[in-house]
Amino acid sequence: MSNNIARKKIDSATIISAVIVLCIYVAAFVAEQFIAPTSMLFTVLKKGATYALVAVSMNLLNGFTGIFSLGQAGFMLIGAYVYGIFTVPVAERINVYQYYNGGLVQFVLPWFVAMALSGLVAAFFAFLIGMPVLRLKSDYLAIASLGFAEIIRAVMQWDKLGPITNGSNMLRLFPSFNDFNIRAADGHVVVYLSTLVPLLIAGVCIGVIILLINSTFGRALKAIRDDEIAAEAMGIRLASHKRLAFCISSFFAGVGGAMLAMYQTTVQAKGFTTAMTYEILLIVVIGGIGSVTGSCISSFLFVAASEWWLRFLDQKQMIGSFEVPLLRNGFRLVVLRRRGPNERERTSP
């Protein structure tokens, strides 16, 4: 009896969240038809959806398995490149790969196949580097994964790989989010889908991650996070479960990378810096370690703040003819920066 009630409670919670998500989708779809597509709202929704997916994938690792990894930008980079490499139209390749005679790859995959491949290749790399890296613990693992991301970024710009990766030049002209809009024969957009589709992709992927977290494997991962020794004593093989979490997290980071490529419309390795990983980490921490909903909400908030709401801080603030010196770069550097120990010594008498 009590069991039935508990089950019903869970069901109603699921239904409510499903309804909320559905409302967001409907609202996004409707808004897209009536608000100008250049509005910042859509930038935030598209980039927010991308970051939400990557943040949840990072949370799967950092929050649910207790593996503190900072390789997310590296796996996004792999995903973005795989997507770009396999979707640049054949006719355009001679322009895109202008220094490499059109490059080696002379075929095109449909966008969803390329996106899935992005994830698979990222997961494959995760499998390879997971073998040594997952033997490390805490800080060392974070440093090693960060190092991997930096190495990947350098390798992708390597001239010898140019026929595939286009070296340090950007990949472009592949299908982007705007290509999801349905156009009439004259090029006029009939139905706008460029925001709804990324939201849907992220939603499906995050849904899969939630299903995983709530499965028996998710429980095993949480057990590893809570107590490795006890988990192992309960018959959970640490190595294989950590590797599984690492690969799945990287798979979705790869898909997120492909989405980021679609959002940006171009891909260049030098954009996938450590700072990007820190942005994702910031989102995960703000949303709450181990909270999927939190990661999703904070990712939209973060993107909205950094791309839109707080942009005014970078401009001159005028009150009448007086220029407010607050909050511009110089001010922030002096006031908000943490002082190093040496500096404090120097300033003290």
Partner 1 sequence: MSENVLHLDHLTMRFGGVVAVNDLSMDINKGEIVALIGPNGAGKTTAFNMVTGVYTPTEGKVVLNGQDVTGKRPDEITKLGVARTFQNIRLFSSMTVFDNVLTAKHLRRTSNFLTATFRLNAAEEKHMREETEKLLREVDLYDLKDEMATSLPYGKQRLLEIARALATQPKLLLLDEPAAGMNPQETEELGAFIKQIKDRFDLTVFLIEHHMNLVMGISDRIYVIDFGKHIAEGTPAEVQDNPAVIAAYLGVDEDESGLPSEGPRASAPAAPPEARGPLKVETRGGKGVQ
Q: Which of 211, 310, 324, 326 binds partner 1 (CB under 8 A)?
A: 211
Nearer to partner 1, 172 or 225 (CB): 225
DSSP label of 325: -
Asked if 233 interacts with partner 1 (CB under 8 A), we say: yes
Asked if 219 interacts with partner 1 (CB under 8 A), we say: yes
Nearer to partner 1, 219 or 328 (CB): 219
Q: Which of 25, 29, 127, 217 binds partner 1 (CB under 8 A)?
A: 217
Q: Which of 44, 149, 202, 231 binds partner 1 (CB under 8 A)?
A: 231
Q: Which of 220, 259, 276, 284 binds partner 1 (CB under 8 A)?
A: 220
Asked if 6 interacts with partner 1 (CB under 8 A), we say: yes
State the binding string over 259-298 for partner 1 (x if CB under 8 A, else -). Answer: -------------------------------x--------
**Cβ–Cβ < 8 Å for 165, 81:** yes
Measured between its terminal Cα atoms, the distance across the chain in Å is: 73
Nearer to partner 1, 3 or 321 (CB): 3
For residues 170 and 233, give the distance between their C-alpha atoms in angstroms, rounded to a whole number. Answer: 50
Kindly state the tokens that stand for 107. 């075929």
For residues 18 and 151, give the distance between their C-alpha atoms in angstroms, rounded to a whole number. Answer: 40
State the binding string over 38-67 for partner 1 (x if CB under 8 A, else -). Answer: ------------------------------
For residues 24 and 42, give the distance between their C-alpha atoms in angstroms, rounded to a whole number. Answer: 13
Compute how many residues bind partner 1; rule: CB under 8 A: 28
For residues 129 and 144, give the distance between their C-alpha atoms in angstroms, rounded to a whole number. Answer: 9
Residue recorded with tokens 């959806």: 49
Q: Which of 137, 237, 332, 339 binds partner 1 (CB under 8 A)?
A: 237
Nearer to partner 1, 41 or 212 (CB): 212
Q: Which of 244, 258, 262, 280 binds partner 1 (CB under 8 A)?
A: 244
Long-range contacts of 235-244 (CB under 8 A, 24+ apart): 239/134, 241/65, 241/217, 242/65, 242/67, 242/130, 242/134, 243/127, 243/130, 243/131, 243/134, 244/217
182, β-bridge pairs = 191
Phi and psi at residue 195, to the nearest 5°: -100, -40
Report the interface residues with partner 1, using CB under 8 A.
3, 6, 208, 211-212, 215-217, 219-220, 222-223, 225-227, 229-238, 244, 248, 290
